[in-house]
Amino acid sequence: MLFSSVTFLYVFLPIVLLLYFLVPKRLKNHVLLLSSLVFYFFGEPVYTLLLLFSSLSDYAHSLLIEKHRGTKKAKLALISSVAINLAMLGFFKYADFFIETVNTLFNSSLPLTKVPLPIGISFFTFQTMSYTIDVYRGRAHAEKSLLTLATYVCLFPQLIAGPIVRYTDISAQLHERESTLDGLYLGVRRFVFGLAKKVLIANAMGELCAIFRDSADKSVGFYWVYAIAFTLQIYFDFSGYSDMAIGLGGIFGFRFPENFNYPFISRSITEFWRRWHMTLGGWFRDYLYIPLGGNRVSKARWYLNIAIVWAATGLWHGAAWNFVIWGLLFGILLILEKEKLLEGLKRAGRILPHVYVMLIVIISFVIFNADGLQGVKEDLAGLFGAAGLPGWSTETGYYLKSYAVLLALAIIGSTPLPKMLWTRFAERPLGSKLAAVFEPLSVAALMALVTAYLVDGSFNPFLYFRF
Residues with catalytic annotation? 317
Strand ranges in 54-187 using DSSP code E only, listed in sequence order: none
The 3-state secondary structure of 249-297 reads: HHHCCCCCCCCCCCHHHCCCHHHHHHHCCHHHHHHHHHHHHHHHCCCCC
Rounded CA separation 93/118 (Å): 8
Which of 343, 344, 319, 316 lies closest to 330 in space, CA to CA? Answer: 316
Which of 94, 155, 150, 153 lies closest to 127 in space, CA to CA? Answer: 153
Question: DSSP character for 221?
Answer: H
Rounded CA separation 118/41 (Å): 11
Which of 450, 443, 460 lies closest to 187 in space, CA to CA? Answer: 443
CA angle 280, 285, 287 (to 5 degrees): 90
Rounded CA separation 99/120 (Å): 22
Question: DSSP character for 158?
Answer: G
Peptide bond into 163 cis (omega under 30): yes
Residue 144: how many other CB atoms lie within 10 Å:
11
The tally of CA atoms less than 13 A away on the side-chain side of residue 19 is 15
**169, containing H or E segment:** helix 167-175
Question: DSSP character for 460?
Answer: -
Question: DSSP character for 215?
Answer: -
CA angle 313, 314, 318 (to 5 degrees): 115
Question: DSSP character for 213?
Answer: H
Rounded CA separation 72/84 (Å): 18
